[in-house]
Amino acid sequence: MPKASWHLDRRTVLRGAGLAPWVLGEIVGVEISPADAQRLGVAEGDRVRLESPRGRMEARARIREIAQALEDYRLAYQRIAPEVDYVAINISSPNTPGLRKLQAPEFLKPILEGLLELRKELGLERQPLFVKLAPDLPFEELDAIVEAIAASGISGLIATNTTLDRGIVSDRNRARVEAWGDGGLSGAGLYGKARAVRNRILDRLPKALAFQACGGIGTAAQAAEALSDGAALVQVYSALIFEGPGLVGELNRGLAARS
């Protein structure tokens, strides 16, 4: 996970200082409260494994050489894929110098081909494999990337990651952001930009491929909008900082009320 976060206006967060050597994000369990312990028949304070699908994200903290990227991703995939229900390949973190270059089709294609080959070797052909994209790509480049991903045989896309666009921050905070230096912005301010990218992708993504919406989502109305746009799943990150873990239940109740 990012090593530093700065909270800004409009519930927007600057994430900087890079990544751990490998980002292998996962939620595997929750600590049980007294009331839930009695209901579930377990001891208070026990950790209970979540039965919902678990995914992990692969991302490099630094790029040695672009030619060695496949080797790096294969090593990580081999380690984590047997333990989870799906894997997301993060080639779009702005906190890793050079990582976003891997979104270019000429670099992305061999990575996906190599990972799909490894997935078959491991007997995990049915395990979903996703790629996470940045919100800062020119649409012409984005279209070419989506075309390459659609032709690759992977399961789908996640969009978007954090943005380098300081325009999503208010004028009064922009100087502070610049003073803090590099890092990706996430949270509520990203929502409009992420949605524009989402809709561009969904207009071109074959219906057989799944899409996970991410970027600035923090309310049931936004989650419903993402699903209405065509997303199969919705991810929340920065909103959890401001609302806490109860946000997930709130979103689910809000979506249920709309159905």
Residue with tokens 């325009």: 167
What whole-number distance in Å separates Cα of residue 71 and Cα of residue 111? 9
Q: What is the set of domains in the chain, with CATH numbers? A: 4-258 (3.20.20.70)
Instruction: Just list the catalytic residues.
Output: 93
Burial of 140 (0-12, 13-18, 19+ CB in 10 A): exposed
**pLDDT digit string (tens) for 175-194?**
877 777 778 899 899 999 99
CA angle 113, 115, 121 (to 5 degrees): 105
Cβ-contact 237, 15 below 8 angstroms: no
Answering whether pTM is above 0.85, one says no
pLDDT digits (tens, 9 = 90+) for 26-82: 333 334 345 544 544 555 444 444 445 555 555 444 555 667 888 889 988 998 899
- What residue type is assigned to position 119 of the chain? R
The pLDDT of residue 14? 76
Beta strand pairing call for 22-24 and 4-7: unpaired
